[in-house]
Amino acid sequence: MHDFSIVRPDPAAVLVCNDFRLSGPERVLMVTGPNQGGKTTFARMFGQLLYFAALGCPVPAREARLPLPDAIFTHFEHAEDPGDPDGRLLGELTRMRDTLDRVTADSVIVMNESFSSTSTSDALRIGGDILGRIIDRGAMALWVTFFEELSRTSPAVVSMVAVTESGEGTARRTFRIERRPPDGQLHALELAGRHGLTYDRVTARIRR
């Protein structure tokens, strides 16, 4: 079994430090939470730490134990190309098929908001199938997604959440990524606050 972790360094006033851990049967970090909460930055950090370690370079951490992957695959969302006759979803599926054809038990995959161009039901079906293939191959992965259901599919999946702090009907981003079950309610609260749809603001407008 693979076992690796990274422990956050002593935080400076201007830094938000995060850590992560996979141990035993755990293979996939599934990161959910509101927009602009630090999820993509966390995914890039994950890939960069593994890449730097593979090169024999120091990594920014108080303590780290990292695997030596045979390859690091990335699957980040691409903008729609009007000149592409196949469309965005087919392009994503083609790239993911090529990745899964090459991935091994010693590989690492970093995915960011994949398959958001299709419906929720289709994205969950596609995502669940791909997640199962990643786990079957024994690869390690970090997957940033809005589909919280994927984090509950297997003991091999670890849920991590971009944390918000609520107060006065709003939710403030902290940019902390914590190991915990997903909470879609805080995400909904953040969206309501952004668009002026919290209880206090709606009732205040009604009273006018």
**What per-residue confidence (pLDDT) applies to 162?**
92
- Tens of pLDDT along 47-104? 999 999 999 999 988 899 999 999 999 998 765 556 665 677 888 999 999 999 999 9
Q: Which pLDDT band, with edges at 50, 70 and 90, does 134 fall under?
A: very high
CA distance 28 to 196: 36
**What per-residue confidence (pLDDT) applies to 73?**
97
Task: Report the predicted TM-score, pTM, of the whole model to 2 decimal places.
Answer: 0.80
Mean of pLDDT over the chain: 85
**What per-residue confidence (pLDDT) applies to 120?**
87
pLDDT at 40 over 70: yes
**What per-residue confidence (pLDDT) applies to 6?**
67
Provide CB contacts within 8 A for 154, sequence distance 6+.
Answer: 28, 131, 132, 135
Per cent of the chain over pLDDT 70 is: 79
Q: How many CB atoms lie within 10 A of CB 58?
A: 8
pLDDT at 189 over 80: no
User: Which runs of E-coded beta strand occur in 61-169?
Assistant: 63-65, 71-76, 107-112, 140-144, 157-167
CA distance 162 to 18: 10
- Tens of pLDDT along 55-68? 999 998 889 999 99
Least confident of 56-60, 109-113, 160-164, 200-204: 200-204
CA distance 154 to 110: 18
Per cent of the chain over pLDDT 90 is: 53
pLDDT at 13 over 60: no
Distances (CA, A) of 110 to 41, 85, 114: 12, 27, 10
Using DSSP's 3-state secondary structure scheme, residue 182 falls into: coil
- Tens of pLDDT along 135-173? 999 999 999 998 899 999 899 999 999 987 765 555 677
